[in-house]
Amino acid sequence: MRTAERELMARLPEGALMQRAAAGLAATCAELLGRVYGSRVVLLIGSGDNGGDALYAGARLARRGAGVTAVLLAPDRTHPGGLAALRRAGGAVTSGVPADGAGAAPRAVEELIGRADLVVDGIVGIGGKGGLRPDAAPLAALLRDSRAVVVAVDLPSGVEADTGEVLGEAVRADLTVTFGTHKPGLLIDPAREYAGSVRLVDIGLTLPAEAGLEALQHADVAARLPLPGAASDKYRRGVVGIAAGSARYPGAAVLAVSGALRGGAGAVRYVGPAGDAVIARFPETLVSDGGPARAGRVQAWVVGPGAGDDASAVAEVLAADVPVLVDADGLRLADRAAVRARTAPTLMTPHAGEAAALLGVPRETVEASRLSSARELARRYGATVLLKGATTLVADADGGPVRVNPTGTAWLATAGSGDVLSGLAGSLLAAGLSPLDAGSVAAYLHGLAGRFAADGAPAGAHDVAEALPEAWRDVRV
């Protein structure tokens, strides 16, 4: 962002970029207000350009008849042009500095926010670090109890732009208007949750071709789906082997197979103690007796869902010279050296708890720093890592762009949903996708299927699997 901004600013008249940002911001605020004339708008203004955006947008709203008051956190270091513009447009200004530099916000500010229809958070944007400071923190607390719509400028103030971490107090917005491109903090939890819905305003930046973080869209997924051609037969479309389930957890095998059948592979081979349950539900499955090493040829393996303590199946699969997906119990049983020694690709699919165990840190640490956790795990194992959660991330070991999944839904936090995902991703691996593509396409389809299956009501993992064809069709139109 900084580089692209500098290059464009050098070519434009001074302040032009900020005017574009402010225009987009003001338009969104006007839309949210419905009627601008007579509305009550409060601007929370820090010392940087983020406050400048908010002041210019406030001036535009004031010219359209809104009652606008700017609350200044750094009265001596407020963006001078923005402040002058607001004053010229008839806006009011007051200090938001707590009496002793911290503690409660001034009483007048509390009343202003209490009466506001809309609050614009221009405290800090991409220039911030480490959560809100003590002088700004009380404002975030006031916003939590207010009935006003809260619109964050560029980012909710106090979240980490580059990582999605939240290191202290931060503003919770209903909507964030962001400029130029999405920042990681708008896509990755926990910060994503603070942003509300996100609207991107194009300010004309030329962005680098490769970003640190990528989110697939429908067209990207459609372009990666394995589609059968005239010359396809079941073997050319790929056979995926599923080594999963146990006497105790036969359902995990059934669910992994249900995902695999909807992933584009031409056939699904099952190996393990739950063959009868699998055949009863999915008669099209090829069931083999004996371990993975004695099963017929496959183009990719999935090992681990509901596998209990069958370490030998995991070792046999890891020794195979085809792409392997390791999930659930398989993650605990996999030998790190054996994973690292593999020459064919490996995709590991932990949730936060499993990732924490592999990294030797508490679960909360992984949840608070999802991006660095996924990257670190990928690096340590020399594998691609799909870290499951409200925002699923897929990281390659080489440190290239990380994929963040935009279709996740809280409805997917249901038993067995991960088994469906691993079968699906394994099937995509067998069909020839790279681990990064297989993992991110599977997460995307799985998230969509979860939304379709739930549609506002609870759904089980088998419902998610059954909604996968609808998700395929949805991305292909």
Ligand X SMILES: NC(=O)C1=CN([C@@H]2O[C@H](COP(=O)(O)OP(=O)(O)OC[C@H]3O[C@@H](n4cnc5c(N)ncnc54)[C@H](OP(=O)(O)O)[C@@H]3O)[C@@H](O)[C@H]2O)[C@@H](O)CC1
Residue 121 binds which of K ion, ligand X, none (CB < 5-8 A, kind-dependent)? K ion
Rounded Cα–Cα distance for residues 41 and 86 (Å): 12
Q: How far is CA 324 from the centre of its chain?
A: 24
Of 44-52, 358-366, 409-417, 436-444, which part binds ligand X (CB under 6 A)? 44-52
Nearest to 448 by CA among 431, 469, 418: 469
Evaluate the CA torsion angle 297, 300, 302, 303 in order and state its sign: positive
In whole angstroms, the minimum distance from the beta carbon of 77 to ligand X comes to: 7
Handedness of CA 328, 329, 331, 334 (dihedral sign): negative
Phi, psi of 185 (to 5 degrees): -65, -15
Residue in 48, 156, 164, 273 binding ligand X, rule: CB under 6 A: 48
User: Candidates 48-56, 212-220, 382-390, 453-461 — which segment interacts with ligand X by CB under 6 A?
Assistant: 48-56
Cβ closer to K ion: 52 or 330? 52
Residue 194 within binding range of ligand X, rule CB under 6 A: no
155 with 195: CB under 8 angstroms?
yes
If the CB atoms of residues 65 and 103 are measured against ligand X, the closer one turns out to be 103
Annotated binding site: 49-53, 121, 125-131, 154, 157, 252, 306, 351, 388-392, 418-419
Q: How is residue 205 written in tokens?
A: 């930046």
User: Of K ion, ligand X, none, which one does residue 354 interact with (CB within 5 to 8 Å by kind)?
Assistant: none
**Least distance between K ion and beta carbon 112 (Å):** 18
Q: Please say whether the dihedral angle defined by the alpha carbons of residues 349, 354, 359 and 364, taken in this order, is positive or negative.
A: positive
DSSP reduced 3-state for 23:
helix
Comparison of 141 and 223: residue with beta carbon closer to K ion: 141
Name which position in 24, 29, 33, 47 contacts ligand X (CB under 6 A): 47
Q: Let me know: does 305 contact 419? Beta carbons within 8 Å.
A: yes
Query: Which of K ion, ligand X, none sits in contact with 129, Cβ below 5 to 8 A by type?
Result: ligand X
Q: Identify the residue among 136, 150, 254, 314 touching ligand X (CB under 6 A).
A: 136
Q: Is 197 helix (H, G, I), strand (E, B) or coil?
A: strand
* Cα 475 to Cα 446: distance, rounded to the nearest angstrom: 12
Annotated binding site for K(+): 50, 121, 157
Could you tell me which residues are beta bridge partners of residue 324? 301, 346
47 sits near K ion (criterion: CB under 5 A):
no
Number of Cα atoms under 13 Å in the Cβ half of residue 164: 26
Sole window of 104-112, 126-134, 215-223, 281-289 interacting with ligand X (rule: CB under 6 A): 126-134
169 binds ligand X (CB under 6 A): no
Residues 8/179, Cβ–Cβ less than 8 Å:
no
* Partner in contact with 17, chosen from ligand X, K ion, none, beta carbon below 5 to 8 Å by kind: ligand X
Distance CA 258, CA 140 (A): 46
The tokens for 350 are 């932990």
Q: For residue 465, state whether it binds ligand X (rule: CB under 6 A).
A: no
Among 16-24, 210-218, 326-334, 345-353, which window interacts with ligand X (CB under 6 A)?
16-24
Q: Interface residues with ligand X (CB under 6 A)?
A: 5, 9, 17-18, 21, 46-50, 53, 123-133, 136, 153-154, 179, 203
Residues that bind K ion (CB under 5 A): 121, 125, 152-153, 157
